[in-house]
Amino acid sequence: MAYQKIRVLALLIVCTLFLTLALYGQKPTALKLWYDKPANAKVWEQALPVGNGRLGAMVYGIPEREMLQLNEETIWGGGPYRNDNKKGAEALPVVQQLIFDGNTHEADELVNASFFTKTHGMPFQTAGSLVLNFPGHAHYQHYYRELDLDRAIAKISYTVDGIRYTREIISSFADDVIIMHLASSKKGGLTFEAEYSNSSKHTVFRNGNSLVLEGRGSDHEGVDGKIVYQTHTSVKSRDGKIEVANDKLKVSGATSATLYISIGTNFIDYKSIGADQAAKASVKLGTARKKGFEKALSQHVALYAKQFGRFKLDLGSRGGVKDESTVERIKNFKTTQDPALITLLTQFGRYLLICSSQPGGRPATLQGIWNNAMQPAWDSKYTININTEMNYWPAEVTNLSETHQPLFQMIKDLGESGQETAKALYGSEGWVAHHNTDIWRITSPIDFAAAGMWPMGGIWLAQHLWEHYLYTGNTEFLRQVYPIMKGASDFLLTTLIPHPKHEDKEWMVLSPSISPEHGPMSAGVTMDNQLVFDMLTRTALANEILGEDTVYRDNLQEMVKRIPPMHIGKYTQLQEWLEDLDDPKNEHRHVSHLYGLYPGNQISPYTTPELFEASRNSLTYRGDMATGWSIGWKVNLWARLLDGNHAYKIVNNMLTIADRENRDGRTYPNMFTAHPPFQIDGNFGLTAGVAEMLLQSHDGAVHLLPAMPDVWHTGFVSGIKARGGFEIEMNWVDGEAEGIKVLSSIGGNLRLRSYVPLSGKGLKEATGENPNVLLNPIAAVKALISPEASLKGNKLRRIYEYDLPTIRGKTYNFSVKKR
């Protein structure tokens, strides 16, 4: 009898537990950020982001005063403008001679006077906030909020006086509006007021059943603000009363209500404005209102999941660690080493890319699509000396190729805008862009010489066109973008000049330039040489693939032979400059000279071992701690160095909480990464870095688990992409791959590289060069190694390489060969 009572009591406890979870919160899943407290109204980095590529919102989840901070991708300061200084071309030869003579200070002053103007880029700006006031909700219980990455929905729930209130918020991929569904567990228990908060010049008025705000982008640095936008907010409810006044919207006595927010601007393209902002907003709002919330949610999730669901990742479980809120998991990571938290952060990066970059729209900015200021840090624009490029490092490898399209459009725009800059500043053909741009596609330098006199931003961006081709094999795409690649190469062919101190070698260099944000003014900077090599050789390859002009191809290849090779300096480091100027005690955040290691492919442990080892030394000298984006880069660099444990050490540096108590933290409570302040490139760099630890395809083969840290004992990944159009699914145990599936989307030779022997039907030992041009890297080898390179003894694990001719659309299975 006593035993039966115990069983009944246990059953009641279990039932009560499940009822409590159902009423007062949801069991967190692996891909949810969740919290047991609302965001602090004054701490934006605690709010949760939703977005659909065009519209973004930060959701605070405050019971008594909800805030939805809003963004639309084309709300920027200023209007169409240019920032070319016509004095540049005349001053250019004088500046170049000063640099060759070693008078870098004078060169710096002349560059500032002749290449720069008073405009330094326009800011990306907030659309303000929609604020919802809930009377009597200040005293609440059983609070829970989450961001569900699988479904791209933010949820909040809490109780007041025994009534359960819920909020669900999406930035709809189906309807292109922000939708918020509010519900009360008591019939008629929902009452609130909605009003706008906005720092721009604006007016608020009623238009039918909508509350409308019309605002403007601000004037900036002498450029008049030309962007005009309207935010339309409307609500539907089956019961209760809805009132729309001239300054607020009120709902009373409802059981549930659905709020719709639509934003339209007058932006047309980087050269023109004049669209009807009111019509843009009202048409989308009217269409969305015709659907019930459940249907709208279902359609939104279906479209979003087509992208997010392609890539699956499991780095292991937490092994008995109690369920903790996301902020507690970040705080405790040093102790728990929770692999599921790394999985969450990796997938969060993919979520952010999907939500801030969609076909037909603008690329992700320095903060993606989320920004709560009129004058954000660095204007939240496009810093193209690494940050914008880093935003798109995860795009191809984590199966989000279409998110790359907005960047391609921006590169096309810059290819047009940059032609005038190339002529005005350099007297050159082709096109050029420096280290920064904005929605108006400026291409001349900004800020000051030591940061902005770097004419390689467009050259770096153009590498993304080639990378997309390598992953997809899409020849039609290559044909479309070839003129852009050719224009970038034309600029180099007409701008490179002989270095007078190396006449015997006939080296051609770019001058003036800098190693990004890390002076001095120089000629023949290592990163420039690496980028020039990539631009010219890849354009030549594209020319050959497309059957274009052979004379032009020969010109490109002849110039490549005259690019200075990389050099190893006195500290056995890869030199950052043509001269041996590196300081091994300098821990500068930029490691630009390692572009050839990642994201480039000029440095390899198998073909350039001396440069490979020198790159390791350079990275070691720079240290493991840095700004958030630099940490993201270093994860990738250590992965390319095939050192999974060191890459994992850098991941540890990223997963430190950034709050008022820890100014050196690199991850905010909402998992945004910190420079500080917030820069989204750190998130994207981390995501790409984890993928690079699991799979590499830049060095002639598809390398399985190239940089696996010891702590990731068992795991699984699917939907990860390799160059050559291969999609891989694999699981591993004790760091070694077991079951492996490879989908060949376009056919061609598959060369597999592994640390363990593999078996599979048709698999043969690899010999010679890989015949698959999409996997065969540009042969740098001797042309890239300086004659004095002398480092030897690079210790590498034994590798096994296999070839298999594949057929388009067919899946191939492999396993570890028994030893």
Phi, psi of 523 (to 5 degrees): -135, 135
Question: What torsion do the CA atoms of 415, 419, 421, 424 make, to the nearest 10 degrees?
Answer: 170
Q: Do 443 and 414 contact (CB within 8 A), yes or no? A: yes
The arithmetic mean of pLDDT across residues 167-184, rounded, is 98
How far apart, in Å, are the Cα atoms of 17 and each of 12, 27, 101?
8, 11, 78
Q: Pick from 140, 174, 172: which is nearest to 156 by CA?
A: 140
Output the six-digit token pair for 720. Answer: 């990860």
- Distance, C-alpha 560 to centroid of its chain: 31
Q: What is the pLDDT of residue 191?
A: 98
What is the C-alpha separation between 125 and 75, in angstroms, rounded? 6
For 69, the 3-state DSSP assignment is strand
Tokens of 211: 């509350």
**How much is the mean pLDDT over the chain?**
93
Q: Decide: 125 and 75 in contact? Cβ < 8 Å.
A: yes
d(CA 627, CA 606) in angstroms, rounded, equals: 31
Per-residue pLDDT band at 661 (split at 50, 70, 90) = confident
Q: Where does the pLDDT of residue 216 fall: very low under 50, low under 70, confident under 90, or very high at 90 and above?
A: very high
Crossing angle, helix 526-546 and helix 457-472, to 10 degrees?
Answer: 40
Q: Which of 265, 278, 37 is nearest to 156 (CA)?
A: 37
Cα within 13 Å of Cα(225), Cβ side: 21
Q: What are the CA-CA distances from residue 770 to residues 723, 746, 778, 782 (Å)? A: 13, 16, 12, 19
The C-alpha R_g of the chain, in whole angstroms, comes to 28
CB within 8 Å of 177: residues ≥ 6 apart: 55, 171, 260, 261, 262, 284, 285, 288
Question: Alpha-carbon distance 780 to 502, whole Å?
Answer: 21
Check whether 155 has a pLDDT greater than 50: yes
DSSP letter at 219 equals P
Domains of the chain by range and CATH?
29-77+126-308 (2.70.98.50)
B/e letters for 245-267, b = 16+ CB within 10 Å, e = fewer, are eeebbbbeebbbbbbbbbbbbbb
Mean pLDDT of 376-402: 98
Question: Which candidate, 207, 201, 196, 226, places its Cα nearest to that of 282?
Answer: 207
Which pLDDT belongs to residue 817?
87
Q: Which two tokens stand for residue 464?
A: 């993304």
Distance CA 3, CA 18 (A): 23
DSSP string for 379-390: GG-EETTTHHHH
Q: Which of 197, 372, 172 is nearest to 285 (CA)?
A: 172
pLDDT at 1: 38
Q: Kindly state the average pLDDT of the residues 68-74.
A: 98
> Which of 656, 650, 693 has the alpha carbon at shortest distance from 671?
656
pLDDT digits (tens, 9 = 90+) for 548-569: 999 999 999 999 999 999 999 9
Q: Which two tokens stand for residue 294?
A: 């459940």
Q: Would the pLDDT of 378 be above 50?
A: yes
Spatial distance between the Cα atoms of 265 and 272, rounded to a whole number of angstroms: 12
The amino acid at residue 65 is R
Label residue 10 by pLDDT band (50, 70, 90).
very low
Residue 105: Cβ-neighbour burial (10 angstroms; 0-12, 13-18, 19+)? exposed
β-pairing, 764-765 with 202-207?
unpaired
pLDDT at 321 over 80: no
Task: Report the interhelical angle of 644-654 vs 681-694 (nearest 10°).
Answer: 160
- Residues belonging to the chain: 819
The tokens describing 801, both together, are 């390489």
Q: Is 106 left (phi over 0), alpha (psi -120 to 50) or beta?
A: alpha
Instruction: Quickly list H helices, 121-275.
Output: none
409 burial level (CB within 10 Å; 0-12, 13-18, 19+): middle
**Region 277-286: what's the mean pLDDT?**
98
Query: Rounded to two decimals, what is the model's pTM?
Result: 0.95
DSSP 661-718: TBTT--B-TTS-BBSSSB-THHHHHHHHHHHHHHEE-SSSSEEESTT--TT--EEEEE
Window from 219-223, 449-453, 815-819 with minimum mean pLDDT: 815-819
The residue with greater pLDDT, 650 or 817, is 650
d(CA 787, CA 196): 66
Q: Is residue 252 helix, strand or coil? A: strand
Q: Given this model, what pLDDT does residue 319 score?
A: 64
CA distance 521 to 515: 8
CB atoms within 10 A of CB 534: 24
Residues 467, 600: Cα–Cα separation, whole Å: 10
Judging by beta carbons within 10 Å of its beta carbon (0-12, 13-18, 19+), is residue 334 exposed, middle or buried? exposed
**What was the pLDDT predicted at 776?**
81
Alpha helices by DSSP H, listed for 180-273, are none
Residue 322: its pLDDT value, please?
A: 66
Reference 218, options 129, 126, 118; nearest CA is: 126
Q: In what order do the strands lie in the sheet containing 764-765?
A: 695-696, 702-704, 748-754, 800-806, 764-765
Q: How far apart are the first and last CA of the chain?
A: 59
pLDDT of residue 791: 36
Q: What is the pLDDT of residue 780?
A: 39
Residue 122's pLDDT is 98
Residue in 596, 571, 676 with CA at minimum distance from that of residue 628: 676
Q: Backbone phi, then psi, for 415, in 5-degree steps?
A: -65, -25
By C-alpha distance, which of 783, 84, 106 is closest to 422? 84
- Rounded mean pLDDT of 338-349? 97
Q: Copy the structure tokens of residue 112.
A: 């500032």
Please state, for a pLDDT cut of 90, what percent of the chain lies above it: 90
> Half-sphere exposure (CA, 13 Å, Cβ side) for 43?
15
List phi, psi (to 5°) of 118: -85, -5
Q: How confident is the model at residue 323 (pLDDT cuts 50, 70, 90)?
A: confident
pLDDT tens per residue across span 20-39: 333 333 444 589 999 999 99
Cβ pair 125, 373 in contact under 8 A: yes
Contacts of 104 by beta carbon, 8 Å cutoff, 6+ apart: 98, 519, 520, 521, 522
* pLDDT above 70 for 794: no
DSSP output for 128-193: -EEEEE-TT-SS-EEEEEEEETTTTEEEEEEEETTEEEEEEEEE-TTTSSEEEEEEESSTT-EEEE
Residue pLDDT, tens place only, 128-154: 999 999 999 999 999 999 999 999 999
Q: Is residue 661 packed enough to be buried (19+ CB in 10 Å), middle (13-18) or exposed (0-12)?
A: exposed
41 burial (CB, 10 Å; 0-12 / 13-18 / 19+) is: middle
Phi, psi of 60 (to 5 degrees): -85, -35
Nearest to 438 by CA among 223, 279, 686: 223
**Residue 193, beta-bridge partner list:** 133, 250
Which residues neighbour 101 within 8 Å (Cβ) at sequence distance 6 or greater? none
